[in-house]
């Protein structure tokens, strides 16, 4: 081991995140986004890097301390469109693949996102926010008036979001088209609805987008696909009903349109599937109806910045395609074709969080992480499964760090469910020594712990703790019945699964000190932490993060409160007794465990009043507790929040457990 040390909270400044790889049209190179934290500015900085696959040497294409992201090749590969914040709001810029300065293409008042090329390479479609009495031609420079405080008029239930704050009722996401040669702008959607741009058909005829155009959107959670005819300027719905669809993509011959989504049979616990629409016959088929895994990436992570996966990626033969699915702690790349074949093309203990296919030869560039690898790019031969590492951006930092490799296990939970978990030994583990343990619980609950890098876990391991984590019922990756089993049973068998995981670890790993156990989690994991300390005293310290403590008040204050409560607790304000029965606050008098409460001031998903109620209840009873409020932060603090506050949060967690669990 030499002088190697475990990961520390401040090491976040040294780590780099690689995301969104995009293979060039000629298949000879890849562009990607590299993000780091500017330690002087205390802000994230993202730049674009290019690698020729035959040289394997990264070349930086953009510079500066702003955010440059969403790189998209022109069809002929001669140009690259991307989004940059270098002029303030995010706008589309154009860069020649032969070098030179990037040219700003859009100057929209509220910024732009999601550039999509036309097949001819002369136009770009994009998403843009446009307010009442505003035009796509309005620029930020035209807004000279001093901001005046105004009352917020609210007449709808969906009036705020955790990521967007209080929503302007007159602002909607629309779709625009930019003519690169003339700089002409055209707005193709309008009205009081949000339109999400997806893709442009390879034959140039259609722009696909999805939207919820129902009149009662407070009670609608649908998202249907539409084809906008570029020539006639008319839009046609290709799906309709109580369904949620997203991430559309075309076969190269424009005969098939694929997308992800579900009929929402189990509300937000429904597994996403692949749907294929045949343009000529207008037939819609659920391709993965018999595949009992959710299509897409449902992995819980706390490190990658701006990671995203495509939905379905078609090969050049117009018959075959690739997609990713979350399965038993891994993201797997599957192969499928129109004949109905489905099988894993890349199945290893890892997290594939970025993917770009070379359509000509069934090779790909994938962004991959595992518990000891924060994330790098790999070349993949999807026919042989051969994988070669392409980038090494974190090697220099990690060579002096001691990382813990988790050991996976399974056990039989109640009702016949098999539950998967992992145990990480402390960094620098010494045989024969006893160690304290921290149980980590993920949010969601419809998400999945996986074989991916977790910075928080490595920090706890580096501080001398064993780390236990599991996927209790309600988690994705183990079938539809498993993910649905938590609804209406919060604090029931999900709680038993976690306690059974702890019992399994204590029975099978004799280095764990049974008298020094801690527990922590965020969001649903915060709810469960609150629930656990109200129902058992076996833990000697706990940290609850962005938690739920009272389902009665949560119903009215969360940005998703009324429908999430109805979907998950299967109750509403007409049954206060049931909401209170599932509320950790109802059991606060039983809490004896020292509890640290972490919460963000601008968390609209689990508003801070949830933490306030629990804190005051415990202090009134003279229990051991402490309340930390993070300013100007929302529900995403641990993943993408202010860098200094992210580090502070990690320090609070680490020190609380050291104080109560270490000798």
Active site residues per annotation: 523, 635
Look at residues 242, 165, 232, 175 and name the one whose alpha carbon lies nearest to residue 209.
175
Give the span between the Cα atoms of 338 and 319, in whole angstroms.
Answer: 5
**Phi, psi at residue 274, to the nearest 5°?**
-95, 135
Mutual angle of helices 455-462 and 643-661, in 10-degree steps: 40
For residue 219, give both structure tokens.
């009670």
Give the span between the Cα atoms of 300 and 282, in whole angstroms.
Answer: 37
Give the span between the Cα atoms of 408 and 420, in whole angstroms.
Answer: 7
Give the span between the Cα atoms of 87 and 103, in whole angstroms.
Answer: 12
| C-beta separation of 21 from 356 below 8 A | yes
Look at residues 507, 504, 482, 503 and name the one whose alpha carbon lies nearest to residue 494.
482
Concatenated DSSP letters of 123-166: EEEEEEEE-TT--TT-BGGG--SPP---PPP--SS--EETTTEE
Site of tokens 């020094």: 516
Concatenated DSSP letters of 74-112: -TTSSEEEEEE-TTSS-EEEEEETT----EE---BTT-E
β-pair type (195-200, 206-211): antiparallel
Give the span between the Cα atoms of 262 and 119, in whole angstroms.
Answer: 29
For residue 530, give both structure tokens.
């609150």
| C-beta separation of 521 from 529 below 8 A | yes
Q: Which residues contact residue 115 at a Cβ distance below 8 angstroms, ignoring those fewer than 6 apart? A: 70, 72, 81, 82, 83, 92, 124, 125, 126
CA distances from 634 to 141, 272, 527 (A): 29, 27, 17
Give the span between the Cα atoms of 543 and 660, in whole angstroms.
Answer: 11
Q: What is the DSSP letter of 299?
A: B
Print the SS3 string covering 62-73. Answer: CCCCCEEEEEEE
Site of tokens 């424009």: 254
Give the span between the Cα atoms of 227 and 307, in whole angstroms.
Answer: 27
Find the length of the chain. 663
Print the SS3 string covering 428-454. Answer: CCCCCCCEEEEEEECCCCCCECCCCCC
- What SS3 state is found at 657? helix
> Any alpha helices (H) in 437-539, and if so which ranges?
455-462, 480-484, 493-508, 524-533
């Amino acid at each position: 081991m030499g002088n190697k040390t475990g990961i520390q909270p401040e090491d976040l400044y040294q780590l780099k995140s690689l995301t969104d790889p995009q293979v060039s049209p000629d298949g000879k190179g890849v562009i990607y986004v590299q993000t780091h934290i500017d330690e002087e500015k205390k802000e994230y900085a993202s730049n674009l890097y290019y690698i020729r696959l035959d040289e394997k040497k990264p070349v930086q294409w953009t510079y500066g301390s702003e955010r440059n992201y969403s790189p998209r090749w022109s069809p002929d590969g001669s140009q690259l469109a991307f989004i940059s914040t270098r002029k303030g709001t995010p706008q589309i810029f154009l860069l020649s693949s032969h070098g030179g300065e990037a040219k700003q293409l859009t100057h929209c008042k509220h910024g732009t996102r999601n550039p999509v090329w036309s097949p001819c390479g002369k136009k770009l479609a994009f998403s843009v926010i446009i307010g009442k009495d505003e035009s796509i031609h309005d620029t930020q420079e035209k807004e000279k008036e001093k901001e005046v405080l105004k009352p917020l008029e609210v007449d709808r239930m969906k009036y705020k979001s955790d990521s967007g704050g209080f929503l302007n009722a007159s602002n909607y996401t629309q779709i625009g088209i930019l003519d690169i040669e003339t700089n002409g702008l055209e707005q193709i959607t309008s009205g009081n609805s949000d339109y999400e741009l997806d893709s442009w058909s390879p034959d140039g005829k259609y722009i696909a987008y999805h939207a919820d155009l129902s009149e009662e959107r407070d009670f609608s959670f649908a998202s249907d696909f539409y084809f906008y005819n570029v020539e006639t300027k008319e839009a046609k719905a290709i799906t309709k009903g109580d369904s949620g669809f997203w991430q559309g993509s075309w076969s190269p011959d424009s005969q098939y349109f694929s997308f992800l989504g579900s009929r929402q049979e189990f509300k937000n616990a429904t597994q996403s599937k692949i749907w294929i629409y045949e343009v000529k016959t207008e037939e819609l088929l659920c391709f993965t109806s018999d595949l009992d895994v959710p299509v897409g990436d449902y992995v819980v992570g706390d490190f990658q910045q701006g990671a995203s996966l495509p939905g379905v990626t078609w090969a050049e033969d117009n018959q075959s395609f690739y997609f990713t699915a979350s399965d038993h702690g891994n993201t797997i790349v599957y192969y499928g074709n129109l004949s109905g074949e489905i099988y894993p093309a890349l199945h290893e203990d890892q997290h594939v969080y970025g993917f770009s296919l070379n359509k000509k030869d069934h090779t790909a560039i994938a962004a991959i992480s595992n518990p000891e690898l924060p994330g790098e790019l790999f070349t993949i031969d999807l026919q042989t499964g051969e994988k070669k590492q392409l980038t090494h951006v974190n090697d220099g930092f990690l060579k002096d760090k001691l990382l813990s490799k988790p050991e996976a296990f399974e056990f039989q939970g109640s009702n016949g469910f098999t539950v998967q978990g992992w145990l990480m030994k402390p960094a620098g583990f010494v045989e024969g020594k006893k160690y304290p343990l921290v149980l980590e619980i993920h949010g969601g609950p419809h998400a999945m712990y996986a074989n991916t890098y977790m910075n928080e876990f490595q920090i706890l391991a580096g501080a001398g703790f064993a780390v236990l984590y599991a996927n209790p019922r309600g988690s994705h990756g183990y079938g539809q019945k498993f993910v649905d089993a938590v609804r209406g049973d919060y604090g029931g068998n999900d709680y038993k699964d976690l306690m059974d995981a702890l019992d399994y670890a204590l029975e099978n790993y004799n280095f764990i000190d049974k008298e020094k156990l801690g527990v922590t989690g965020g969001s649903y994991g915060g709810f469960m932490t609150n629930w656990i300390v109200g129902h058992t005293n076996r833990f000697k310290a706990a940290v609850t993060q962005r938690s739920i403590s009272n389902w009665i008040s949560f119903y009215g204050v969360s940005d998703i409160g009324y429908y999430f409560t109805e979907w998950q607790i299967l109750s509403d304000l007409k049954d206060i007794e049931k909401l209170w029965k599932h509320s950790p606050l109802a059991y606060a008098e039983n809490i004896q465990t020292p509890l640290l409460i972490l919460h963000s001031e601008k968390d609209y998903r689990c508003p801070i009043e949830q933490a306030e109620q629990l804190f005051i209840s415990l202090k009134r009873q003279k229990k051991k507790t402490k309340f930390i409020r993070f300013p100007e932060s929302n529900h995403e603090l641990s993943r993408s929040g202010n860098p200094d506050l992210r580090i502070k949060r990690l320090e609070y967690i680490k020190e609380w457990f050291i104080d109560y669990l270490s000798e």
